[in-house]
Structure 1
Amino acid sequence: MYNMLIVELNRRSVSSTRAALDWGLLGFSIDNETDVDSALALLASKPYSLVLINMVGMPEEGLALCSRIRVNSRVPILLIGDGTNFGLARKAMQYQVSDYLPAPLCLNDLSASLQLIRRKLDADKSVAWEMKPPEPASVIDKVKEYATKALSQNITLKEISSILHFNCSYLGQKFKYEENMTFNEYLLKQRMERAKALLESTDLKIYEIANEVGYSEMDWFYKKFKSYTGVSANEYRKMRSITA
C-alpha cells in the first residue's frame, strides 16, 4: 500500500477527492488531506509515494506548489486541473508531473492513471531492491568470527582490534553493549562450551582438549573448567558417558 497526500487548493472541494474512489483497491492509502499552506511541511516531515493536487479554480497556486515541491523532491505528482485550459496542462508537464487530469473528473481516467502510477512505483521498488547492497557484517560479528576461528590460540581483543583497525577500548565497550558481556567473558564461554563438546564426543586426552581450546597450562584449564561447570573435566566426561 502506497501512502499519498491529497492537497485541496480550493477549500470548498475538501473531501470531494477523498470520496471519489476506493483508494485501497488501487493500492493507495490517503495518509493526509491538507491545503497548500501545510503541504510542504507535511512533505518535509515524512516520505510520500504520491501527491495528488486538486487545483481546480486555482491553477497558478497549483503550479507554484509543483515548483516548490520539485526543489527538494521527485515524488510523483498527479494534478487535477481546469479542463478547458490546455496551456495549463503543458505548463504542468514542465514540472514532470505523472499525469494531468481535467475537471470535471472522470473516475475511469483517475483509476487508470493511478494504476499506471502504481505500476511505476512497483517497478522502481523492484529495481531499488535488486540494487540494494548486501548488509555488511557488523564489526562485532567479525570479532566473534575471528575469535571462533582462533579459539586454540592465545587471542586477545587488542590483537583483533589491530587486525580490524579499531580502537581496542571502543571495540571493548561496543562488544559489551551489544553482547551484554565482555569479550573475555565471551571467549571463556566459547572455550568452555567447545571443551565440553570435545569431552562428550571424542576420546582426546584432557591436555589435548585444553590445547584445542587455547590453554597450554593444565592447571589453569582445570581451574577455569571447574569454575564454569562446577565439576572437573574428568568428572564431566564420566557424567556424560553415563547419561549417553
Structure 2
Amino acid sequence: MYKVLLVDAAQQSKDTTINLLAWRELGFSLEDHASTRVEAMAMFARQPYALVLINMKCTQVDGIRLCQQIRETSRVPIILLGGDNDFQLARKAMCYQVSDYLPDPISPDELQASLCRVERELEEFIGAESKALTILPEDLTTPNSAPSNIIDKVKEFVEESLHQNITLKEISNIFHFNYSYLGQKFKSHENMTFNEYLLQKRMEKAKFLLEHTDMKIYEIANEVGYTEMDWFYKKFKAYTGVSANEFRKMISITA
C-alpha cells in the first residue's frame, strides 16, 4: 500500500478527492491530509510518502511553492489537482517535474490513469532499489535483502570509516541509492539526520578514546575523521559543553 499525502486547504474539495476513487483498491492509502504548505512540509519531513497530491484550486502560488520545496530534497511523485487549465501554471509545474496536472473538472478515469502511471514508476524504482542491494560492493548485502536493511549497511559503513571524510553523498554513490531518498529514509529510521548521527558517533568515540587511552588529542581527532584541530575542538565543545582537555581532566579526577 502506497502512502499518500493530500494537501488541500478546503474541506469540501478534500472530501471530494477522497470520495472520487476507491483508493485502497488501487493500492494507495489516502489518510494523511495537510491544509497548508507549512503543515505539508512538516508532515513530509516526519515520514516518507510515495505520492503527494496537491489541490491547486484555492492557492496556486502556494501549490507551486510546495512543489519547489519538495523538490529541494525529494523526487517523490507529485500530482496537481484542480485549478484552471493555465498553460503558464502547467509550465511552472513541469519545471518541478510533477507527474501530472489535472485541472478542473477532474475526471475519475484520468486520475486513475495517472495513479497507474505513478504506480508503475514506483514499482520500477523499488525494483531498481532491490537490484542495487544485490550488487553492493565489499559483500555489504546478500541477494533478497529487504530495502530497509540499507540503513543498517550505512551504519556499518560509518562504524568502519569514522577516521575518513564521510559524506552521505559518497555513501549513496557507493550503495547505488538516490542521495535525497537515502537521507529521508535514514532520518525516518533513526529519528535524526545522517549528519547528526555521524557527529554523535564521532564525538562518542572521541570521548571513549580520551577516557581509555593515552592518545594525544590531535591523534584522537584524526581517528574520528577530523584533520583540522580547530574544527574538532569546536565540535567537541559544542557536543559535550567542555573542551577535550577539560573532559580528560574531569575523567582523571573522577577515576
| TM-score, length of structure 1 as denominator length | 0.53
> Structure 1 residue 120 and structure 2 residue 121: aligned?
yes
Q: Deviations over 1:222-241 (max 9, x none)?
A: xxxxxxxxxxxxxxxxxxxx
Distance 1:17 1:34 in 2: 13
Aligned to 2:25: 25
**Hey, which bits of structure 1, 4+ residues long, moved more than 6 A?**
none
| Partner SS state of residue 97, structure 2 | coil
Does structure 2 retain, via aligned residues, the 8 Å contact 1:56–1:82? yes
- Residue pairs, 1:2-21, within 5 angstroms: 2-21=2-21
1:34 corresponds to: 34
Quote how far apart the aligned CAs of 1:11 are. 4.4
Between Structure 1 and Structure 2, how many residues are aligned?
Answer: 139
CA spacing shift, 1:136–1:63, aligned 2, 3 Å: closer
Displacement, 1:136? Answer: 4.9
TM-superposed deviation, 1:58: 1.6
Distance 1:129 1:136 in 2: 11
Code of the aligned partner of 2:94: M
For the Cα contact (< 8 Å) 1:54–1:79, is it kept in 2? yes
- Match of 2:102, SS state, is strand
AA in 2 matched with 1:112 = A
Offset, 1:135: 4.8
Shift of 1:61: 1.2
Question: Quick check: which has more Rg, 1 or 2?
Answer: 1
Q: How far is 1:26 from its partner?
A: 1.3
Residue 56 (structure 1) shift: 0.9
- State the 1:89 CA deviation: 0.8
Q: How does 1:1-244 map to 2 (within 5 A)?
A: 1-36=1-36, 37-132=38-133, 133=136, 135-136=140-141
For 2:91, what is the secondary structure of its paired residue? helix
CA distance in 2, matches of 1:50, 1:106: 19
- RMSD value, Cα: 2.1
- Matched to 1:49, the amino acid is A
Which residue type is aligned with residue 55 of structure 2?
N
Give the percent of matched residue pairs that are identical in Structure 1 and Structure 2. 41
TM-score, length of structure 2 as denominator length = 0.51
